Chains A and B, each alone.
Chain A
Amino acid sequence: MNKLQNFTKGFFKENPVLILALGLCPALAVTTSIENGLGMGMASTAVLIGSSTIISMLKKFIPSNIRIPIFIVIIATFVTIIDLTLQAFIPSLSESLGLFIPLIVVNCIILGRAEAFASKKSVLNSMIDAAGMGIGFTIALVLISAVREFAGTGALLGFPLFQLMGIEGFKGSIMMILPPGGFLTMGLILGFMQWNKIRKAKNTGGK
């Protein structure tokens, strides 16, 4: 596998949320607006790249029977750094993500990549893999939050699209922003992916 494939595989083919179904809690909890989804995706990507790089650098020195606690310590360190950084420089994001910043620690994507990739491959490859996976996670979050924000408030990135087009009186369905909307959006997106897969399989089968 070359480096480009290694980078882009996380976007769609092995998208951590949509295909591997990892990191579902933040994917549902913070995706009430694109801004939050993007912020969460970038914070997680930063943690993922940092921890994967360090773990890959130290892989020779980490005894295999205590690797999980060491991974957790390294990940938690990066999460705290991100947490403090957000508090100091982007406090509004820090407040709207709230509890889910410390919970990046238990995001299965990060520990999963550390275990499956970074502890085995070279530093550069681990970094590329982490960046790809992080971007894939961000793509999924932005996708979910775009659907929810649009259906819930009729706006995208805070711009009221319908009012900009001169259509008055559009009211979003607030349920989409509340918890049920998160589950529903996720279910429908996964359903769409599955439908696409079945369709493709049929097409190739026909040929």
Chain B
Amino acid sequence: MDFSHLIVIAVSSIFINNFVLGRFLGICPFIGVSKKLDSALGMGMAVIFVMTLASTVTFLIQTYVLVPFELEYLRTIAFILVIASLVQFIEMFMKKNMPSLYQSLGVFLPLITTNCAVLGVAILNIDDIAMIGQHFNFIESVWNGFTAGIGFTIALLLMAGIRERLELADVPESLKGTPITFISASLIAVAFLGFSGMSIM
């Protein structure tokens, strides 16, 4: 177990290849749920939770089911079904056993199934060898899922903070709403581009 790999993965998926600002994954919730800081935080937490679990489960399925039986071509269908049922299961479990948590996160859970960041992280865990120069092992996959979720949450919170202030700003009529959100996102992405020169290996 190489501990330095975990640090590389964390820095890489939070800053250098931020899921939203660098890889364009999960744009829909990024634009849709970033109006208020509270809901952005709720969504972010739900995504971290689901991404970590989804990374765990999909990695196990890939290693112990799809690869041994040479069924790699069923990967897309298997992963999306697993993620969809996982989200459903978490929702039911929360509703019954953790009603207070369900009240704050529950509304975001159904949205996560079609959040491409979750399926994206599951596929990247298997395919991506760019970060540490080799395929992830189990712990690195789970860690990548967790840190990618954190990266998503950071981007979402930054955006929400800006949008709360934007409400008070005098924006030209035709840029009000979604357009100015995209333009602000572009400026945040410029800032995140600065991380891409970092060499961490």
Give A166 Cβ to nearest chain B Cβ, in Å: 33
Is there contact, CB below 8 Å, between B120 and A69?
A: no
Point out the residues of chain A lying under 8 angstroms from B179, CB to CB: 187-188, 190-191, 194
A187 touches B181 (CB 8 A): yes
A188 / chain B contacts, CB cutoff of 8 Å? 179, 183
Contact of B84 among A68, A183, A198 (CB under 8 A): A68
Q: A83-B76, A194-B176 are in contact. Are A184 and B183 (CB under 8 A)?
A: yes
Q: Which of B42-50, B138-146, B187-195 contacts A (4 or more CB under 8 A)?
A: B187-195
Determine if B182 and A102 form an interchain contact, defined as CB atoms under 8 angstroms apart: no
Nearest residue, chain B, Cβ from A179: B189
Query: In the complex, are the beta carbons of B190 and A102 less than 8 A apart?
Result: no
B166 at the A/B interface (Cβ < 8 Å)? no
Cβ contacts under 8 Å, A22 to chain B: 28
Judge if B164 is at the interface, Cβ distance under 8 Å: no
- Among the listed A99, A111, A183, which residue makes an inter-chain contact with B183, where contact means beta carbons less than 8 Å apart? A183
CB distance from A104 to the nearest CB of B (A): 9
Other-chain residue from B81, B114, B173 in contact with A106 (beta carbon distance below 8 A): B114
The stretch of B6-14, B16-24, B61-69, B98-106 in contact with A is B16-24
- B51 in contact (CB, < 8 A): no
Q: Is B127 an interface residue (CB 8 A)?
A: yes
List residues 172-186 of chain A with CB under 8 A from any CB of chain B: 175, 178-184, 186
Question: Which residues of the partner chain A approach B80 to less than 8 Å between Cβ atoms?
Answer: 72, 76, 105-106
User: Please, how many angstroms separate the alpha-carbon atoms of A191 and B21 in the complex?
Assistant: 20
* B31: Cβ under 8 A from any A Cβ: yes
Give the one of B23, B76, B81, B120 with max A CB within 10 A: B76
Which of A21, A76, A183, A191 is within 8 Å of B189, CB to CB?
A183
Contact A80 B76 (CB under 8 A): yes
Q: Which residues of A contact B178 (CB under 8 A)?
A: 21, 187, 190
Stretch at the interface among A24-32, A38-46, A121-129, A153-161: A24-32
A80 and B73 within 8 A (CB): yes
| Total residue contacts A-B, CB cutoff 8 A | 123
Chain A residues with CB under 8 A of B114: 106, 108, 111
* B68 CB → nearest A CB, Å: 19
In whole angstroms, how far apart are the Cα atoms of A111 and B114 in the complex?
9
Please report the C-alpha to C-alpha distance between residue A108 and residue B74 in the assembled complex, in whole angstroms.
Answer: 21
Q: Which residues of B contact A58 (CB under 8 A)?
A: none
B8 to chain A, nearest CB (A): 20
The smallest C-beta distance from A183 to any residue of chain B, in angstroms, reads 4
Partner of B186, one of A79, A106, A187: A187
Check A106–B119 contact: CB distance below 8 A.
yes
* Residues A73 and B185 in contact, CB atoms below 8 Å apart: no
Contact indicator B77/A80 (Cβ below 8 Å): yes
A108 to chain B, nearest CB (A): 5
B-chain residues with CB within 8 Å of residue A178 when the two chains form the complex: 189, 193
Task: Judge if B60 is at the interface, Cβ distance under 8 Å.
Answer: no
The answer to whether the Cβ of A8 comes within 8 Å of any Cβ in the partner chain is no
Chain A residues near B27: list those with CB within 8 A: 24-25, 28
Given A25-B24, A102-B123, A187-B183, also A76-B176 (CB < 8 A): no
**CB within 8 Å of A: which residues of B?**
21-28, 31, 73-77, 80-81, 84-85, 113-116, 119-120, 123-124, 127, 173-183, 185-187, 189-190, 192-193
Residues of A whose CB lies within 8 Å of any CB of B are 21-22, 24-25, 28-29, 68-69, 72-73, 76-77, 79-80, 83-84, 99, 102-103, 105-108, 111, 175, 178-184, 186-188, 190-192, 194-195, 198
Closest 7 CB pairs of A and B: A187-B182, A195-B174, A29-B24, A183-B186, A191-B179, A187-B183, A76-B77
